[in-house]
Amino acid sequence: MEVKELYRFFDVAPRVVPADVATTIEITPLQNAWRRDEYEIAYLAMDGYGSQAGWDAPEFIPVRATDGVIRFEATFQDEQEHILLLKSDDRQPVEIRIYSLRDDLFARRPYKGDIHLHSCRSDGSEDPAYVAGACRRIGLDFMSLTDHGKYGPSLEAIAAYDGVKVDLRMYPGEEVHLPNTSTHIINFGGSCSVNMAGPDEHPPHLNEIKKLAAKLGSLPQGVDPLNYAECVWAFDRIRRAGGLGVFCHPYWVAAKRYHPGMPLTDYIFETQPFDAYEVIGGYDGNCDSNTLQVGRYHDEQAKGRKIPVVGVTDAHSCQRHRYFDTYYTIAFSPSCGLQDLIGSIKDLYSVAMESLPNDRPRPVGPMRLMKYALFLEREIFPQHDELCLEEGRLMLAYIAGDTDAADALARLSGRTAAMYKRYWGE
């Protein structure tokens, strides 16, 4: 999304504040047209919690600028979005948005990532290193290359930037394919591969899986014990390797039917051996699949199940894939470190985002995070993404042989982190 015109005229900090705590807000006019000594300001609470609820017109109060900066203290009640109306002379007021958060969410930062991507090492189009640079160029904070049945390409992407100071976090990954099931599984961040590399690897693992299948007892009609046991085995192996096991696109249509098929999908949701559910994907722009996957999420929630979610592109090209920059995960995490991200997703601090061209973004996840994500998409991420764009271009220039790009990346390092510190009032 484009940066709001407001932020070309005013700098506002912080924009995310702790709920029910007195906070000083600074508004700095950036252009002479809005520089004054005296202003008026009014306040509205979007959800209606607090003293400014109801239908009455907001009351404007005078505020003064000191050294060109408007400073005032306010207590933003409860967890919600707030509107500040700022006016001067007879101009129309401008709307400034603030979001207040309860302590648990205020202590976290929003990180954008895609953990299901392909390169030319499987059936994608570009080199692993190119995919990584393209991810930063579109505003991602973390990514994982997950080629079909291959763990090595994700390590290749990471190694391509070894010794270069880049702020994009690149993590190992793979799309796991097993011999007896069509279930697709993502290994995000595991310290080793879970794929069976070849026929020589199958027997010991399959013996382990067959023993697991034999212990399952009676299963629902249509659920093959070996198919289900392979899924359970894979998710367990990913966890043991320190990764996040993601159940992928159960309403993906291949050979004119859903894969892996509803009997197995139903039982996987019932027993929930996975760590997270790929509720939104952009693998072929199939809106019906996403609609059904979102519907399934809400059904499972209604049954009382807590389902961690991720959004991904499943992109097979960063250039020709028209949905490459429109599906992703927002993880609300203490840091962008791997275990913080995994822990936050598993603890239900994530949303899956669908942000199609010429349309409003649509998050899927817990309601409080959805509301917050819409604010971030509008008020914070466009400026974050502008900073990432330049870094991503330099990453691509570096792998193309530009010897100056590494120095330029080092100079730009830390800008998004500094922006977050300012907008969260640290």
**The CATH number of the domain where 62 resides is what?**
2.60.40.10
Return the DSSP state at 148.
Answer: B
In a domain, 422, yes or no: no
- For 283-341, what is each residue's pLDDT tens digit? 765 678 999 999 999 999 999 999 999 999 999 999 877 778 889 999 999 999 999 99
Domain match, 86 and 115 both: no
Q: Are residues 208 and 76 in the same domain?
A: no
Q: How confident is the model at residue 30 (pLDDT cuts 50, 70, 90)?
A: very high
User: 260 is in which domain, residue-wise?
Assistant: 109-399
pLDDT classification of 197: cutoffs 50, 70, 90: low
Q: Which residues of 284-310 are buried (b: 16+ CB within 10 A; e: fewer)?
A: eebeebbeebbebbeebeeeeeebbbb
> Is the model's pLDDT at 199 over the cut of 70?
no
The three-state (H, E, C) secondary structure of 265-331, written as one string: HHHHHHHCCCCEEEEEECCCCCHHHHHHHHHHHHHHHHCCCCCCEEEECCECCCCCCCCCCCEEEEE
| For residues 80-109, average pLDDT | 94
Q: What percent of the chain has pLDDT over 70?
A: 96
Instruction: Determine, yes or no, domain membership for 198.
Output: yes
247 and 135 housed in the same domain: yes
Same-domain status, 236 and 359: yes
- Inside any domain, residue 376: yes
Give residue 426's pLDDT.
Answer: 81
Task: Give the distance, in angstroms, between the CA of residue 61 and the centroid of all CA atoms in the same chain.
Answer: 39
Same domain, 334 and 367: yes
* pLDDT value, residue 152: 97
Are residues 10 and 40 located together in one domain of the fold?
Answer: yes
Residues 85 and 137 in one domain: no
- Of 334, 370, 321, nearest to 350 (Cα)? 370
Domain with 166 in it: what CATH number? 3.20.20.140
Of the candidates 103, 132, 158, which is a domain's last residue?
103
Contact at 8 Å (CB) between 362 and 370?
Answer: no
pLDDT tier for residue 50 given thresholds of 50, 70 and 90: low
Residue 366 lies in a domain: yes
pLDDT at 54: 62
Q: pTM value?
A: 0.96
Q: Which of 73, 103, 133 is the last residue of a domain?
A: 103
| Overall domain count for the chain | 2
Distance CA 295, CA 298 (A): 5
Report the candidate in 175, 183, 148, 178 with the shortest Cα–Cα distance to residue 266.
183
Tell me, yes or no, whether 191 and 285 share the same domain.
Answer: yes
**Pair (20, 154) in one structural domain:** no
Per-residue pLDDT band for 52 (boundaries 50, 70, 90) equals low
User: Are the CB atoms for 150 and 195 separated by under 8 Å?
Assistant: yes
130 and 253 co-located in one domain: yes
Q: Are residues 123 and 89 in the same domain?
A: no
Q: Are residues 22 and 146 in the same domain?
A: no
Q: What is the pLDDT of residues 121-162, one digit of tens each?
A: 999 999 999 999 999 999 999 999 999 999 999 999 999 999
Condensed to tens digits (0 to 9), the pLDDT of residues 239-289 reads 999 999 999 999 998 888 888 999 999 999 999 999 999 999 987 656 789
Average pLDDT of 218-224?
95
Cis bond before residue 260 (omega within 30° of 0) = yes
Q: Does 356 score more than 90 pLDDT?
A: no
Quick one: pLDDT at residue 2?
A: 82
| Alpha carbon distance 357, 361 (integer Å) | 9
Evaluate whether residue 418 is within a structural domain.
Answer: no
Q: What is the mean pLDDT of the chain?
A: 93
Please name which of 88, 58, 308 lies closest in space to residue 188, comparing C-alpha atoms. 308
Above pLDDT 90, what percent of the chain?
81
